[in-house]
């Protein structure tokens, strides 16, 4: 199930970045479940990772390899290789060694990523046996195949692509992501892989990614669960004709905004595909004192099972939203200054139900599959937006049956 499932977009090839997929039979044999990405020599690579203390073996390995001029990514779905101890570390490293031998590179130039069931050992022999198949298919145009290969409970492949013009020359930004459940990014994201042909230093690329992720993937939540495997990678091949982007150049803000735009598109696609989701919900917090409290209020609403189930039922039970705002641990909150809206319908004003509100007006909004909740705190001028979905019967069913 998905809310307004978008068609898979046109994916502009990124010069210097190739992708190849194959099926290793990790959990299923119906579609490809293994992806290899290659970047030409001389590019730069940035990444952010989950802050979950039980981070998966591939996260540990990828972190240690990030500063060693990575050129290859190897990603599998169907098995998270998390909670697997030393065996998991050995298996993740074996995948890097195998790719390096096939590509005549160094194992430290390979970043591994996994997604799927936690606590089961990676079928590393199955994977290494088909690495040559994926390598043989390496091509700059294989973005849709790549997006499909990293899916787990996703119901559709997720991609975004953008071309920007800088001084008469073009820079391409294209990316894919996966995620539908265990989504409350904290760093980081589920799995996201973005590529560009821009020339940019690793340190500046890392700053750009931090900013983009903070305002995209870190503003979504489906169920409040931060995964052991979250990671987002941004690779820059340097193959564009545009001069190197520097921090003090006018090009940097244009480039940074474009990276953020791609990340936001991928993040919103994840929420649209939330496990069992029937509603896409934007929570806008306005008039906050600072960013921290705006995010806190937004996420308190987004994580409330009572709020989420009310949206699933299309029930204008506005008291649940009011209660969530009140328990968001904002100090010295003056409830009489707060206003709450469902789309344009004011439901709360001066600490109680708005005199203009009617149940029928609220019902019209709740019957929609895309809804905006706006909370005006009356404390300042800071704005933030959190994106989430409802909580349905199907969410419970999907996750109850996840290993069967």
Task: Give, for 44, the enclosing helix (H) or strand (E).
Answer: strand 44-49
Cα 140 from Cα 18, distance rounded (Å): 4
CB 31 within 8 A of CB 168: no
User: CA 259, 287, 382: angle at the middle one, nearest 5?
Assistant: 35
Percentage helix, strand, coil, to 5, in the chain? 35, 25, 40
HSE at residue 67, side-chain half, CA atoms within 13 A, is: 4
Q: Is 21 among the residues known to form the active site?
A: no
Measured in whole angstroms, how far is the alpha carbon of residue 141 from the centre of its chain?
22
The β-bridge relationship of strands 370-376 and 191-196 is: unpaired
Cα 218 from Cα 186, distance rounded (Å): 6
CB 92 within 8 A of CB 165: no
Instruction: Please pick, among 84, 189, 228, 374, the residue that the annotation labels catalytic.
Output: 189
Catalytic residues: 189
């Amino acid at each position: 199930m998905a809310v307004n499932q978008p068609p898979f977009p046109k994916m502009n090839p990124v010069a210097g970045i190739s992708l190849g997929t194959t099926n290793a039979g990790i959990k299923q044999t119906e579609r490809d479940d293994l992806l290899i990405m290659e970047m030409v020599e001389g590019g730069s690579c940035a990444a952010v990772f989950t802050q979950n203390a039980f981070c998966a073996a591939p996260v540990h390995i990828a972190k240690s390899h990030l500063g060693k001029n990575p050129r290859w990514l190897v990603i599998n779905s169907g098995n998270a290789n998390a909670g697997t101890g030393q065996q998991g570390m050995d298996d993740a490293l074996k995948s890097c060694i195998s790719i390096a031998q096939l590509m005549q590179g160094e194992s430290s130039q390979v970043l591994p990523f996994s997604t799927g069931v936690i606590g089961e050992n990676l079928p590393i022999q199955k994977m290494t046996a088909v690495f040559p198949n994926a390598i043989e298919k390496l091509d700059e145009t294989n973005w849709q195949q790549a997006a499909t290969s990293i899916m787990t409970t996703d119901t559709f492949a997720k991609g975004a692509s953008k071309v920007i013009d800088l001084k008469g020359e073009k820079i391409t930004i294209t990316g894919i992501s996966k995620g539908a459940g265990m989504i409350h990014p904290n760093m980081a994201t589920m799995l996201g892989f973005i590529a560009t042909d821009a020339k940019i230093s690793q340190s500046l690329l890392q700053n750009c990614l931090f900013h983009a992720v903070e305002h995209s993937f870190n503003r979504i939540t489906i169920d409040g669960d931060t995964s052991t495997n979250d990671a987002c990678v941004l690779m820059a091949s340097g193959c564009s004709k545009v001069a190197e982007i520097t921090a003090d150049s006018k090009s940097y803000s244009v480039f940074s905004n474009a990276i953020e735009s791609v990340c936001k598109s991928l993040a919103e696609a994840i929420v649209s595909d939330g496990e069992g989701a029937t509603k896409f919900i934007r929570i806008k917090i306005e008039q906050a004192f600072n960013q921290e409290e705006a995010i806190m209020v937004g996420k308190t609403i987004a994580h409330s099972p009572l709020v989420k189930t009310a949206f699933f039922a299309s029930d204008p039970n506005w008291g649940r939203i009011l209660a969530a705002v009140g328990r968001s641990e904002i100090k010295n909150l003056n409830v009489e200054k707060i206003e709450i809206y469902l789309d344009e319908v004011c439901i709360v004003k001066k600490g109680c139900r708005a005199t203009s509100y009617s149940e029928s007006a609220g019902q019209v909004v709740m019957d929609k599959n895309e809804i905006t909740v706006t909370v005006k705190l009356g404390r300042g001028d800071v704005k933030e937006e959190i994106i989430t979905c409802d909580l349905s019967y199907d969410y419970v069913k999907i996750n109850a049956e996840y290993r069967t």
